[in-house]
Amino acid sequence: MQREAALNAKGYSERDEKRILDALGRGLLKEFPNPDRAGCPGSDVLRRIASHAMPLPEAEKWLDHLTSCSPCYGDFSQFQAAHQRRRTQRLLAIAASILIVVGVAGWALFFKQKGPPAVQTAVLDLRNRSVPRGGEPNPDEQPLEVSRGVKQLNVYLPLGSAEGPYEIRIATPAGKARFATSGVASLKDGVTSIQAAVDLSSASSGRYLLQVRRPNSEWNSYSLLLR
Ligand SMILES: [Zn+2]
């Protein structure tokens, strides 16, 4: 109520405005041509009444004239329409900024709920894994873990591994390859590693084997959990 009172500080209510319009409408209907604009308050006054910039008591004294001057009614109608347009634009701008705020908040909330984007690169560290015998993974070791969403594998080969070409594949426990690629291992900062692009999006999650070998050698297998 207090805010409404503040908005109507100039003394206009919806009812007042309707009264003015009705009075002016009657004035127009009665057709009071006034080509010399005798006694007209001038467009500044009309504009201030139309935009509610003039307090109602002050505007009251013009109502008699406005109800008996067709040109003033015409001017007033235009000012009033312009005022309405500006008000609508202002409301639309406010609505738009609210929508933007809501949109940004929703977007932020969406990403908050979704959590950080999935890590695109997975490091598979084989340096401290025991070198498998006979190609079988060591059952005592925790499986490596990798998300199906990763796009890039960075495989740290066991210590002492030679640089050069390697083959990498991800196979089912029965040894059926689900994904295969190759790369060239290089030594940097004491680590021999291979980077390879992967696409595991079509594989179902579960237990797999990460298999690594030099060309024409035996596969070395490591347990891999695909999440
Ligand atoms: Zn007039």
Q: Average of pLDDT values for 8-15?
A: 68
Output the CA 32–ligand 1 centroid distance in Å: 9
Mutual angle of helices 70-114 and 14-29, in 10-degree steps: 140
Q: Average of pLDDT values for 137-149?
A: 83
Q: For residue 208, report the phi and psi dihedrals to the nearest 5 degrees.
A: -140, 180
Judge contact between 221 and 141, C-beta under 8 A. no
Instruction: Say what percent of the chain tops pLDDT 70.
Output: 86
Judge contact between 186 and 163, C-beta under 8 A. yes
Output the CA 49–ligand 1 centroid distance in Å: 13
Q: What is the structure's pLDDT at 41?
A: 93
Does position 185 have pLDDT exceeding 70, yes or no? yes
Does position 90 have pLDDT exceeding 50, yes or no? yes
Output the CA 22–ligand 1 centroid distance in Å: 16
Output the CA 147–ligand 1 centroid distance in Å: 79
Q: Average of pLDDT values for 179-184?
A: 89
Q: What is the structure's pLDDT at 48?
A: 93
Mean pLDDT of the chain: 83
Grade residue 30 by pLDDT with cuts at 50, 70 and 90: low
Output the CA 204–ligand 1 centroid distance in Å: 82
Output the CA 7–ligand 1 centroid distance in Å: 28
Output the CA 43–ligand 1 centroid distance in Å: 9
Does position 3 have pLDDT exceeding 70, yes or no? no
Residue 92, burial from CB neighbour count under 10 angstroms (0-12, 13-18, 19+): exposed
Calpha distance 50→28 (Å, rounded): 16
Tell me the per-residue pLDDT of 95-116, one tens digit each, with 9 for 90 and over. Answer: 988 888 888 888 888 777 665 5
Q: Average of pLDDT values for 22-46?
A: 80
Output the CA 84–ligand 1 centroid distance in Å: 22
Output the CA 25–ligand 1 centroid distance in Å: 14
Output the CA 82–ligand 1 centroid distance in Å: 19
Q: What is the structure's pLDDT at 184?
A: 92
Does position 190 have pLDDT exceeding 50, yes or no? yes
